Amino acid sequence: MGREARPVVLLLGWLGSKEQYVKKYRALWEGLGAQVFQHQPSILQTALPGVADRALLRLMSDISSRYSTLRATSGEAPPVLVHAMSNAGFVAFGTMLHLTSLANPAALPPGAPGSPAASLKPQLQTDWKSAPAAGGGAGPCQGGWQAGSPEQAAPRSGEDGGSLRGSFAAGSGSQGDVLSGFKQVLRHTQGIVLDSGKQSAPPSQATAHIWSRGVLAAVLAQPVQEVEESHPMLLRNLHSLAQRYFMLPQVARRMREVRHAWQHHVPPCPQLYLYSKSDALIPYQHIELFMEQQEAHGVCVHHHRWDDTAHCEHMRKHPEQYRSLIRSFSEHCLHSQGPPKNWI
């Protein structure tokens, strides 16, 4: 990276990720001259929409404040890159996109998922500050670097999503300032890296299968393959719970909000997908289907698929190639046109 393009990187770890493992990704970006804002989603922050909203609003507040300081110090807005790991990173960033979209109700098409659960309204308005600190190939792009239909959900019966969106748009109090501030960060986002992650299709058997194994692996701090072999009974019980979990209205709504945000509120910048055919948690076909969906929405998609790496272990097994892919993609993003200022 050149001196003139020292970016800010939002690094979102995988579910239950430990600092000792995430720090190598931080070191990678810092070695490229970037400043890194890091967040490691906990199981509660990923599983419970209310906890997620409060934690992510706190994170967005911190990022916005630090970004504003960097902007004032340098005299210009630093470019932003996002590096999201696994489903937890994907959902965390999708939730941040969703929350930010609430500050601009005009951007929400009729019938789009537009509000957190009704029971969370007062918490979002008053309690978010009390949350703990947030710890190859290319798609249809115009030139550039190469490496190896909108879903809508009807509001709940009797829910006035418009009134909540209006309260966000009014920008009253510090919450409105946080959303407006983070919108500036998104406006300067010039590239997104997705490592081993994307949300599955609508809540289904596949979703419960993925999340039950991911949660158990995070709790036990074991690879997914070992969890399947050593704890089959526990995994079956957790899968049964996950099926019921995804039927909860607030959870199903959050999944719709995340999918909608990734389709309609993601910054219009290139996306790089790093994944593997040997991933035991996220089927590579799911990732490739999502890539096709993003391309259909006009996103410039790059990708690299390995044949032999486990979930979120591409950098461990292929460190030099991984670093080269990140460096090449980031240089491509930073030397191309930035996103339009009025996209959100």
Is pLDDT above 60 for 122?
no
- Quick check: is 68 in a domain? yes
Query: Which two three-digit tokens encode residue 330?
Result: 């980031």
Mean pLDDT of all residues belonging to the chain: 77
- Quick check: is 232 in a domain? no
- Quick check: is 239 in a domain? no
Q: What tens digit of pLDDT does each residue of 167-196 get?
A: 333 344 477 888 889 999 999 999 999 998
- Quick check: is 341 in a domain? no
The pLDDT > 70 percentage for the chain reads: 73
Residue with the bigger pLDDT between 201 and 246: it is 246
The pLDDT value recorded for residue 44 is 83
Sign of CA dihedral 249, 252, 258, 262: negative
Band of pLDDT at residue 162, cut at 50, 70 and 90? very low
The pLDDT value recorded for residue 138 is 58
Number of domains into which the chain is organized: 1
The pLDDT value recorded for residue 98 is 94
The pLDDT value recorded for residue 21 is 82
Residue 173 sits in which domain range?
A: 3-203+247-334
Residue with the bigger pLDDT between 336 and 188: it is 188
The pLDDT value recorded for residue 129 is 47
Band of pLDDT at residue 67, cut at 50, 70 and 90? very high
The pLDDT value recorded for residue 247 is 86
The pLDDT value recorded for residue 339 is 53
- Give the separation between CA 288 and CA 276, rounded to whole angstroms: 11
- Give the separation between CA 83 and CA 250, rounded to whole angstroms: 27
User: Cβ(153)–Cβ(263) under 8 Å?
Assistant: no
The pLDDT value recorded for residue 65 is 92
290 pairs with which residues across the strands?
none
- Give the separation between CA 102 and CA 116, rounded to whole angstroms: 10
Point out the least confidently predicted range of 110-119, 264-273, 321-330.
110-119
The pLDDT value recorded for residue 196 is 87
Residue with the bigger pLDDT between 337 and 42: it is 42
- Quick check: is 52 in a domain? yes
User: How far, in whole angstroms, is CA 149 from its chain's centroid?
Assistant: 20
Band of pLDDT at residue 300, cut at 50, 70 and 90? very high
The pLDDT value recorded for residue 175 is 77
Find the mean pLDDT for residues 216-222: 78
- Quick check: is 66 in a domain? yes
- Quick check: is 23 in a domain? yes
- Quick check: is 219 in a domain? no
- Give the separation between CA 11 and CA 122, rounded to whole angstroms: 29
The pLDDT value recorded for residue 307 is 92
Is pLDDT above 60 for 49?
yes
Sign of CA dihedral 256, 257, 258, 263: positive
- How would you write 138-183 as a 3-class SS string? ECCCCCCCCCCCCCCCCCCCCCCHHHHHHHHHHCCHHHHHHHHHHH
**pTM of the predicted model, to two decimals?**
0.77
The pLDDT value recorded for residue 211 is 75
For position 313, which CATH number holds?
3.40.50.1820
